[in-house]
Amino acid sequence: MRKPTKYVFITGGVASSLGKGIAAAGLGSLLIGRGVNAELMKLDPYLNVDPGTMSPFQHGEVFVTDDGAETDLDLGHYERFLDKPTSRAHNVTAGQIYESVIRKERRGDYLGGTVQVIPHITDEVKRRIMSLGRDKKADVLLVEIGGTVGDIESLPFLEAIRQIPYDAGKENCIFLHVTLLPYLSAAGELKTKPTQHSVKALREIGIQPDGLICRTEIGMDSGQRRKIAMFCNVPESGVFQSVNVDVIYEVPLMLHDQGFDDWVVRQLALEAGEARIGDWESLVERIRGSRGTVRIAVVGKYIELQDAYISIYESLQAAGYDHGVHIETVRIDSEKLEEEGTGALEEVDGILIPGGFGQRGIEGKVMAADFARERKVPYFGICLGMQVALIAFARSVCGIKDANSTEFDEKSPNPIVDLMLDQKAVLNLGGTMRLGAYPMKIFPDTLAAKTYGQLEVSERHRHRYEVNNDYRARVEEMGMVVSGVFEETDLVEMIELRGHPWYLGCQFHPEFQSRPLRPHPLFNGFVGAALNFSREKAGGERSKEANHAPSQPVR
Ligand code: GLN
């Protein structure tokens, strides 16, 4: 019989953005390497049902799973580190919990009882945690709690995890607290007091951490470790540190070097094999050995935010690792491009336009798509980036001057990107977005076919508008090739440009399936083309591997 799931609960203290998600993902990947079936989930204390409706300024990227859930960007880290798909059940928000409890209340399920945070909300949180462990047959479920200890919002979640050891057995649960040791340059030392206070706040609500991961800019010494252990009531062997690293994929190695995975295995008495960290080691080695730099322009609205396009950046880097080159992302504000012209694009080796919503900055993106087409600069348009490439092409090559998407001009006389008829019918009911994985058929003898190395793939979507098939013949006549479709309803999924070294647009989001150890073929192909472009520009030898083939196909 399968042993019941064990749990690692990961909370954060002192400050946000400590890399809790990356530490959790790093631990998960170490455990998987040891043959432990580890799963990761994220609990988010905000009241939005999901982050789909939140601005990237508030929340960063929305990560989309195969089953079409719009989730927290930490799930992207989980998938990249574990190379295992997540699902709707892997990200639970307070909004979802309250929604389901209130729905039950309206149905009369509580039989006249008073519905309260404890036990009703906390029970629902526990139910979601424990059912994921069960459904996934996880040996260990790592549960990351968003926010910082001390926030009012996280209290019901913390109370729920405090109770789980009573249901699942104390010996089957550990609590890890990720905290900050700030460095005060005036005093020349790391300060432990905020950590002590944060652990005190946890203890006040009944949680004594078993281990600590202390985020520090410089490593702590043995005296500091002893002090933290003593005042936080944690054995010294349970105090770990997370020092700043150049590349996040060094995190598993850094944790392993401190014996962190061994410690977790011992604490939970897990049946685990020897650690296997070879893949991460060779990746880090490859990164360190990279030569040369390829400059990729990312033209978007939220370029000042590191988190808004995090999967895009990670996918570009992963392709760079594979090609053994450094990727410098040149982040270009599409609105500035409108005002200042395309000068900034002169210096780059490739142009990527990521997904986006709304009209702001659109004309700048159209300019970038034109620039790449005319100057034969490698171009990769993702979702909105594909739609603008098509609009640009229709306007300047097909002479349809007022071609547009009805997202930006509802009354456009030439809606080359539009809502589908069935969508228009249900628009008032909401939920019209195409979300999650769809199969795609790729046509042979196209750049897409060559780049993927296969003709049937599955890709994840998050968009409302589609290419209007009424215009398909006209653009194809002029040299735009439809290279991938969703056959069932004949939707255009990929376009490319005949006679251009690498100009490709996709209606889906390949960045959600790219992994550091298994970069997505489209990113790999794009970076390969950009590398060729930079070499040609430098008058260097043309790479023999134009349109670098995928290292491995995507699932
Ligand atoms: N706004 C566009 C649409 O809804 C593109 C969405 C996206 O880029 N993710 O179709």
CATH of the domain at 530: 3.40.50.880
Query: What CA–CA distance (Å, rounded) separates 546 from 529?
Result: 6
Q: 555 in a domain, yes or no?
A: no
* Whether residues 263 and 357 fall in one domain: no
* Whether residues 215 and 295 fall in one domain: no
Q: Give the side-chain half-sphere CA count within 13 A for 478.
A: 14
Distance 253 CA to ligand 1 centre (A): 38
CA 287 to chain centre: 21
Token pair recorded at residue 425: 């019918």
Q: Which of 382, 407, 438 to mutate to test the pocket of ligand 1 (most atoms within 8 A of CB)?
A: 407
- Comparing C-alpha atoms, which of 183, 185, 181 is closest to residue 193? 181
The closest residue, in CA terms, to atom 7 on ligand 1 is: 355
The 10s digit of each residue's pLDDT in 66-120 is 999 999 999 999 999 999 999 999 999 999 999 999 999 999 999 999 999 999 9
CATH of the domain at 21: 3.40.50.300
The closest residue, in CA terms, to atom 1 on ligand 1 is: 357
* 456-463 sheet: strands from edge to edge: 326-333, 293-300, 350-353, 379-382, 503-506, 491-497, 480-486, 434-442, 456-463
* Whether residues 217 and 121 fall in one domain: yes
- CA-CA distances (angstroms) from residue 103 to 64, 108, 109? 25, 9, 9
The confidence score (pLDDT) of residue 218 equals 87
Index of the ligand 1 atom closest to the CA of residue 382: 8
Query: What CA–CA distance (Å, rounded) separates 124 from 130?
Result: 10
* Whether residues 347 and 238 fall in one domain: no
* Whether residues 212 and 317 fall in one domain: no
User: How many residues can be counted in the chain?
Assistant: 555
- Name the residue type at position 287: I
Distance 461 CA to ligand 1 centre (A): 9
**DSSP class of 518:** B
* Whether residues 261 and 321 fall in one domain: no
CA 336 to chain centre: 26
Distance 339 CA to ligand 1 centre (A): 23
Q: 37 in a domain, yes or no?
A: yes
Cα pseudo-dihedral 341, 346, 350, 352, rounded to 10: -10
* Whether residues 307 and 263 fall in one domain: no
Q: Which of 383, 398, 463, 548 is catalytic?
A: 383
Q: Which residue has the tokens 């897409």?
A: 448
Distance 52 CA to ligand 1 centre (A): 12
Index of the ligand 1 atom closest to the CA of residue 385: 8
Index of the ligand 1 atom closest to the CA of residue 433: 4
Q: Which of 177, 461, 463, 509 is catalytic?
A: 509
Output the tens digit of pLDDT for each of the chain's 555 residues. 778 999 999 999 888 778 899 999 999 999 999 999 999 999 999 999 988 888 888 788 999 999 999 999 999 999 999 999 999 999 999 999 999 999 999 999 999 999 999 999 999 999 999 999 999 999 999 999 999 998 999 999 999 999 999 999 999 999 999 999 998 888 888 888 999 999 999 999 999 999 999 999 888 999 999 999 999 999 999 999 999 888 999 999 999 999 999 999 999 999 999 999 999 999 999 999 999 999 999 999 888 878 889 999 999 999 999 999 999 999 999 999 999 999 999 999 999 999 999 999 999 999 999 999 999 999 999 999 999 999 999 999 999 999 999 999 999 999 999 998 666 655 554 458 899 999 999 999 999 999 999 999 999 999 999 999 999 999 999 999 999 999 999 999 999 999 999 999 999 999 999 999 999 999 999 999 999 999 998 885 444 444 554 445 444
155-168 vs 122-135: helix axis angle to the nearest 10? 50
Query: What CA–CA distance (Å, rounded) separates 353 from 384?
Result: 7
The confidence score (pLDDT) of residue 543 equals 47
Q: Which of 62, 301, 359, 464 to mutate to test the pocket of ligand 1 (most atoms within 8 A of CB)?
A: 464
Last residue of a domain, one of 218, 249, 283: 283
Q: 469 in a domain, yes or no?
A: yes
In the residue annotation, 509 being an active-site residue is answered as yes
In the residue annotation, 173 being an active-site residue is answered as no
Query: What CA–CA distance (Å, rounded) separates 214 from 367?
Result: 47
In this prediction the pTM is 0.92
Range of the domain at 456: 291-539
Q: Which of 314, 493, 511, 548 is catalytic?
A: 511
Q: Which of 357, 418, 508 to mutate to test the pocket of ligand 1 (most atoms within 8 A of CB)?
A: 357
Q: Using an 8 Å Cβ cutoff, are 13 and 177 in contact? A: yes
Q: 429 in a domain, yes or no?
A: yes
Q: Which residue has the tokens 């986006």?
A: 356
The confidence score (pLDDT) of residue 544 equals 47
Q: 498 in a domain, yes or no?
A: yes
The pocket around ligand 1, CB under 6 angstroms, is made up of 355-357, 383-384, 407, 462-465
DSSP-derived pairing of the beta strands 63-64 and 173-180: unpaired
Distance 347 CA to ligand 1 centre (A): 28
Distance 508 CA to ligand 1 centre (A): 9
Q: How many distinct structural domains can be found in the chain?
A: 2
Distance 463 CA to ligand 1 centre (A): 4
Q: Using an 8 Å Cβ cutoff, are 220 and 234 in contact? A: no
The closest residue, in CA terms, to atom 9 on ligand 1 is: 355
Query: What CA–CA distance (Å, rounded) separates 254 from 267?
Result: 19
Please say whether the dihedral angle defined by the alpha carbons of residues 222, 224, 230 and 236, taken in this order, is positive or negative.
Answer: negative
Index of the ligand 1 atom closest to the CA of residue 356: 8
Coil/strand/helix, residue 383: coil
* Whether residues 278 and 249 fall in one domain: yes
- Comparing C-alpha atoms, which of 327, 326, 344, 346 is closest to residue 335? 344
Last residue of a domain, one of 283, 301, 319: 283
